[in-house]
Amino acid sequence: DVYATGMLADQPPEYPVRYERLREAALEAMSDEAAAYVGGGAGGERTMDANRRSFADWRLLPRLLRDVSERDLHVDLLGRTLDVPFALAPVGIQTIVHEEGELATARAAHETDVPMCLSSVASQPMEAVAEELGETPKWFQLYWSSEPAIMESFVGRAEDAGFDAVVLTVDVPILGWRERDIERGYLPMLAGEGMANYFSDPAFRALLDVDPEENPELATQRFLDVFGNPALDWTDLEDLCAMTDLPVVVKGLLHPDDAERAVECGVDAVAVSNHGGRQVDTAVGALEALPGIVEQVMGRVPVTVDGGVRRGADVVTALALGADAVMVGRPYVYGLALGGQSGVEAVLENLRADLDLTLANVGRPSVAEVDESLVVRADRL
Ligand code: FNR
């Protein structure tokens, strides 16, 4: 279908198909502040690079003559059947790249049947985003506020709004050293963009003397005081698992011992991630951390990975190394920057088509048939 459409069209595709061109065009189209925020990472960006580079450590070893005429990309995860083994990673403050922000992303996710994880620091309230998503699988990413009432309120709202899981991000005890953001002298949140969930929250509003609508600067200052919680420890994770009936995913683990601890706390899935290289410069690449965690977890809970996934072959490599699903961050944000909903749709449709063709060409017509025999380390060839 992809090729037939391409050959019959008298116009090239509306959005760049190659990730490198998509990224370049989107960064160009954004404000300098947004480009620094989205495109950048922590410190010298060595972990951001490692996320990409580590995919090149592996090669796929295709098998042939295996009847791949029918393909099936679905996976079962967190109580839902996902149409594809990839989801939209939580990315905050999306109105800084497109005025419709998370609402456009949610419409695209719904249209393409790709699960979406919504950030705590979204530019639109979670209830509005959930409505756009409809029946599409949806997860709510939680930053655990230093004010317990806000955290509890967020979890309750996510349950009421019909989210399927809570994804607790634990790799931001405090914000990383992000040089591009510091040089711009600008934290996008200061412009009031990423606080829709907070400004609309009764527990947050109860902390303020004046409504955020009346004095957004003051409310923003309060938000910065309470949004994170560097005092969190494993007992808090246990409490969260006990507090909600929703599945709990812990996002941002890199060490197998932390994964063990998380499973003991009762989490329903582990998300291997280094936050897209935005927290610790020179931390291990996400794909490098994956095999150790998969080995430790031994199938007791599903494992996802995100960081540097750009193409179908990347998805296949991560699945072959034991991930149950992957998440994708920057690529869809670049699509959003270039064309709102239709830009995100193009990115997601291309990734699905690429994955579908790649699975056929490596002789694994379904995701269920992908296993470690499909990959070899490039340095062992
Ligand atoms: C993020 N990420 C992120 N993660 C999270 O748990 N909550 C958040 O609010 C954000 N915000 C955010 C903003 C931006 C601009 C980026 C690029 C990333 C991290 C995200 O969920 C994911 O871990 C990475 O983006 C995955 O890496 P790639 O696909 O961007 O390489």
Residues (pLDDT < 50) of the chain are none
Q: Would you state the pLDDT for residue 189?
A: 64
Nearest CA to ligand 1 atom 16: 91
Q: Are 346 and 323 in contact (CB under 8 A)?
A: no
Q: Are 78 and 164 in contact (CB under 8 A)?
A: yes
Domain residue extents for the chain: 2-365+374-378
Write the CA distances from 24 to 48, 240, 309, integer angstroms. Answer: 16, 40, 17
**What ligand 1 atom has the least distance to the C-alpha of 90?**
21
Q: Would you state the pLDDT for residue 190?
A: 66
Distance CA 274, CA 306 (A): 8
Q: Are 320 and 372 in contact (CB under 8 A)?
A: yes
Q: Is 210 left (phi over 0), alpha (psi -120 to 50) or beta?
A: beta
Distance between Cα 156 and ligand 1 center (Å): 23
Distance between Cα 378 and ligand 1 center (Å): 28
Nearest CA to ligand 1 atom 9: 92
- Asked whether the ipTM of the predicted complex exceeds the cut of 0.90, the reply is yes
Distance between Cα 290 and ligand 1 center (Å): 17
Which residues participate in catalysis according to the annotation?
275
Q: Which residue from 278, 305, 333, 347 has its CB within 8 A of the most atoms of ligand 1, so it is best to mutate?
A: 278
Question: How does DSSP assign 84-127, residue by residue?
Answer: SSEEEPP---GGGT-TTHHHHHHHHHHHHT--EEE-TT-SS-HH
Q: Are 33 and 184 in contact (CB under 8 A)?
A: yes
In 3-state terms, what secondary structure has residue 324?
coil
Token code pair at residue 129: 């985003």
Could you tell me which of 111, 97, 167 has the C-alpha nearest to residue 138?
167
Q: Would you state the pLDDT for residue 2?
A: 76
Nearest CA to ligand 1 atom 6: 169
Over the Cα atoms of the chain, what is R_g? 20
**What ligand 1 atom has the least distance to the C-alpha of 310?**
29
**Ligand 1 — pocket residues by CB below 6 A?**
37-38, 51, 89-92, 119, 121, 141, 169, 251, 273, 275-276, 278, 306-309, 328-330
Q: Would you state the pLDDT for residue 184?
A: 85
All residues at 6 or more sequence positions from 21 whose CB lies less than 8 Å from its CB, including other chains: none
Q: Are strands 86-88 and 75-77 parallel, antiparallel or unpaired?
A: unpaired
Q: Would you state the pLDDT for residue 193?
A: 86
Beta strands (DSSP E) in 263-370 are: 269-272, 303-306, 325-328
In 3-state terms, what secondary structure has residue 168?
strand
Distance between Cα 292 and ligand 1 center (Å): 22
Distance between Cα 275 and ligand 1 center (Å): 5
Q: Would you state the pLDDT for residue 188?
A: 64
> Cα–Cα–Cα angle for 88, 171, 302, nearest 5°?
55
All residues at 6 or more sequence positions from 127 whose CB lies less than 8 Å from its CB, including other chains: 157, 160, 161
Exposed, middle or buried, 82 (CB in 10 Å: 0-12/13-18/19+)? buried
- 375 forms bridges with which residues in the sheet? 60
pLDDT digit string, tens, across residues 288-311:
999 999 999 999 999 999 999 999
Could you tell me which of 210, 218, 232, 244 has the C-alpha nearest to residue 143?
232
Q: Are 335 and 22 in contact (CB under 8 A)?
A: yes
Query: If you classify domain 2-365+374-378 with CATH, what class do you get?
Result: alpha beta
